[in-house]
Amino acid sequence: MSSHTSRKGNINDLNTEVIYKGICINCGACVAFCPEYLTFEDGEVKQTARCNEYVGECYEFCPRSFCAPMEAEKQLFGEKRVDPALGYYKEIVTAKIKDAKIASQAGDDVITALLLFALSKKKIDSAVIARSAEKGPNMPKKLVATTAKEITAKADSKYIGGPFITGIGEAIRSGKEKIAFAGVPCQIQAIRNIQTSPNFKVGADRVVLVIGQFCAMGKFPVEKGEKYGRRDGCKVCYDFAAELADISAGSIGSEKGWTTLIMRSDAGKELVDEAVKAGAIEIKKLDDVSKIIKTATNKKQKNFENINEVAEMLKVLNFVMEPSDLKLFLV
Ligand code: SF4
Ligand code: SF4
Ligand code: SF4
């Protein structure tokens, strides 16, 4: 991936372009690698000391300061998207847990089953996942799980928004070599930003497996009576199908009790194929993907209106226009 000057910035740029603009989605990528200057307070990013750096990881890793899905696809998968709504993929199937022991641990959660299988085959040595039963804006907590018992620990909701990228920082600092992550699309955009960063190398190549949960609306822990809510930042989110994951998963498109799996990378397809061969899961080809495409398209269309509202004028070479006018300009 080529280096972009537009990708460079510091904490002041992050504040101006993301946090004060209300598009932060609380992923934790900025805090994860700068705990000396940044923390979370009441669920929001807070600077704890004056920083005079000209450029920093906080800005470069943030998926809301910089997101280049096409370039990331090319780098991760070797090709750009095959479908405008779903991104790049090799195969889409519907899956169910087959192994009785895994089913007793994971219930019907195929993502957990794949993590358990990967751990048992030593393809991963840890998994950064969300686990908690407590309320409050900082909940649930992320967990760097290293055992099957930790991966299957009970949770109110396993795949929700929250600052779980801090778990990636912890896993790297504690010397984990083969880290998995399971989460929502915006968190995965953050991981890919970290991995493809031209200016900062923090060991994120040790994240070897990324599984994404479909996310239509966003689901965050909140206070004031309701257990979960949406963040303002979700209104400008284009990604339903976790387009940059190795494997994306969700119920849409599958019959009850089955899970749709979108295999994108070689590593993702390899893991699913091996899990099938070993009898951990069973899969069937999914011929009708129209429901997934429709849901992803609806989210993009609805949220692009919101993106247009907050976006600056667009500059392509010397041409400057409102983002919403781009379609009028193209022949
Ligand atoms: S030290 Fe770097 S990463 Fe930390 S706040 Fe300053 S610019 Fe951001
Ligand atoms: S979106 Fe993530 S990286 Fe960006 S400011 Fe918010 S918490 Fe930090
Ligand atoms: S809609 Fe989902 S993927 Fe998008 S920002 Fe919100 S939680 Fe993240």
Average pLDDT value for residue range 175-192: 97
Determine the length of the chain: 331
Look up tokens 């780098």; give the residue: 75
Range of the domain at 321: 68-329
Indicate if ligand 3 lies below 6 Å from the C-beta of 124. no
Ligand 2 atom 1: residue of nearest CA: 24
pLDDT at 2: 41
Is a pLDDT exceeding 60 seen at residue 300? yes
**For the chain, what is the domain count?**
1
Is a pLDDT exceeding 80 seen at residue 227? no
- 284 C-alpha to ligand 2 centroid (Å): 38
Task: Report which of residues 131 and 41 the model is more confident about.
Answer: 41
Indicate if ligand 1 lies below 6 Å from the C-beta of 10. yes
**Residue 317 confidence class, pLDDT cut points 50, 70, 90:** confident
Query: Could you tell me if residue 201 is inside a domain?
Result: yes
Indicate if ligand 1 lies below 6 Å from the C-beta of 58. yes
pLDDT at 18: 95
Query: Could you tell me if residue 266 is inside a domain?
Result: yes
Return the percentage of the chain with pLDDT > 90, whole number. 72
First to last CA, the chain: 29
Indicate if ligand 3 lies below 6 Å from the C-beta of 237. yes
Look up tokens 């194929």; give the residue: 273
Average pLDDT value for residue range 141-160: 80
Ligand 3 atom 7: residue of nearest CA: 218
**Residue 139 confidence class, pLDDT cut points 50, 70, 90:** low
Return the percentage of the chain with pLDDT > 70, whole number. 91
Is a pLDDT exceeding 90 seen at residue 142? no
Task: Report which of residues 219 and 46 the model is more confident about.
Answer: 46
Is a pLDDT exceeding 90 seen at residue 318? no
**Residue 223 confidence class, pLDDT cut points 50, 70, 90:** low
pLDDT at 42: 77
Query: Could you tell me if residue 40 is inside a domain?
Result: no
Ligand 2 atom 6: residue of nearest CA: 24
**Residue 307 confidence class, pLDDT cut points 50, 70, 90:** confident
Is a pLDDT exceeding 90 seen at residue 84? yes
Average pLDDT of the chain to the nearest whole number: 90
Indicate if ligand 2 lies below 6 Å from the C-beta of 45. yes
Indicate if ligand 1 lies below 6 Å from the C-beta of 57. yes
H/E element holding 315?
A: strand 314-316
Site to probe by mutation for ligand 1, drawn from 12, 38, 66 as the one with most ligand atoms within 8 Å of Cβ, is: 38
Is the previous residue joined to 140 through a cis bond, with omega within 30 degrees of 0?
A: yes
Closest atom, ligand 2, to C-alpha of 38: 8
Query: Could you tell me if residue 39 is inside a domain?
Result: no
pLDDT at 162: 83
What are the counts of helices (DSSP H) followed by strands (DSSP E) for the chain? Answer: 12, 14
Ligand 3 atom 1: residue of nearest CA: 218
pLDDT at 245: 98
What distance in Å separates the CA atoms of residue 308 and residue 236, rounded to the nearest whole number?
9
Query: Could you tell me if residue 33 is inside a domain?
Result: no
Look up tokens 């998926």; give the residue: 63
**Residue 110 confidence class, pLDDT cut points 50, 70, 90:** very high
Query: Could you tell me if residue 58 is inside a domain?
Result: no
- 77 C-alpha to ligand 2 centroid (Å): 25
Closest atom, ligand 3, to C-alpha of 161: 7
What distance in Å separates the CA atoms of residue 67 and residue 17, rounded to the nearest whole number?
13
Residue 39: CB partners within 8 Å, gap ≥ 6?
Answer: 31, 45, 46, 48
Q: Are 183 and 115 in contact (CB under 8 A)?
A: no
Is a pLDDT exceeding 80 seen at residue 31? yes
Query: Could you tell me if residue 5 is inside a domain?
Result: no
Indicate if ligand 3 lies below 6 Å from the C-beta of 296. no
Average pLDDT value for residue range 48-62: 95
Query: Could you tell me if residue 312 is inside a domain?
Result: yes
Query: Residue 297 burial by CB count (10 A; 0-12/13-18/19+): exposed, middle or buried?
Result: middle
